[in-house]
Amino acid sequence: MKTVTAIKTVIIEDEKPAARKLERLIGLFTDLELVATLNSVEEGVDWFQKNPHPDLVFSDIVLGDGLSFDIFEKIPTRSFMIYTTAFDQYTLKAFKLNSIDYLLKPIMEEDLRKAIEKYKSFLPSEASYNTLEIKSLIKEEKQKLSRILVKIGYNLKIVQTEEVSCFYSENKIVYLQTKDRNYPTDFTLDELQEVLSENKFFRVNRQFIVSSDFIKNIHTSPYFKVEMEFQPEEEITVSRDRVRDFKEWLSN
């Protein structure tokens, strides 16, 4: 009979109620074995220096003494990461640090279940994945950002990327545009370009990333100009050096 190896799991969370809830939820999965709950960057660095690294880490991002990213910038790990956070302005950086998913608080059992299933989907059939490059396994996942959390005064709103007609930069702030209005984000266009779906979004110039789903018209004379169903007042012109790539992107 083949022995099923438990998935060694670590929690990094400085809020005790949140840590207890996540411990309880993880306890519902018989194939997960919780080996440690860590509460700070300092404790995390110390633990990862002295112990075998786990298969899977659930980590809050903002801790009392810094960001959990600081742990793994000091102690590189091959563990898979699932980040848990109340805000996702750090999501793009999370994608660069072995992250396969992120969960917005409060964490629901069904969301946790889906994240664990996603983790399992990256594993090869034989238990030899520690010899593989994790970054190559999660490369495609990095290129897809499905939702963005934006702030409206003291309120938060989740915007699905499928609702966004374009992202644009104005006065050093990047906005996303929907049919209802625009929203400021905490991202740069360069960061967004790394994680948005390449099939759906294209960087037409230094100021705009547009969505193929909302292109209303394309004027080819004298320059390539893109008219979106929902767009800011600024005219969207395709940079000359991007026209050929833009045509190829449209035809795919």
**Backbone phi and psi for residue 133, each to the nearest 5 degrees, phi listed first:** -85, 115
Q: Report pLDDT digits (tens) over 18-59.
A: 999 999 999 999 899 999 999 999 999 999 999 999 999 999
Pick the CATH number of 147-251 from 2.40.50.1020, 3.40.47.10, 3.40.1390.10, 2.160.10.10: 2.40.50.1020
Run of H or E residues at 121: helix 109-121
| pTM for the predicted model, two decimal places | 0.55
Burial, 100: exposed, middle or buried (Cβ in 10 Å; 0-12, 13-18, 19+)?
Answer: buried
Q: Which of 3-7, 89-93, 120-124, 240-244 has the highest mean pLDDT?
A: 240-244
Q: Is the bond preceding 52 in cis, omega lying within 30 degrees of 0?
A: no
pLDDT tens-digit profile of 185-235? 888 898 888 778 889 999 999 999 999 999 999 998 888 999 999 999 888
Domain ranges (residues) in the chain: 7-142, 147-251
Query: Quick one: which of 141, 143, 179, 147 has its CA closest to 161?
Result: 147
The CATH H-level (homologous superfamily) assignment of domain 7-142 is Response regulator (3.40.50.2300)
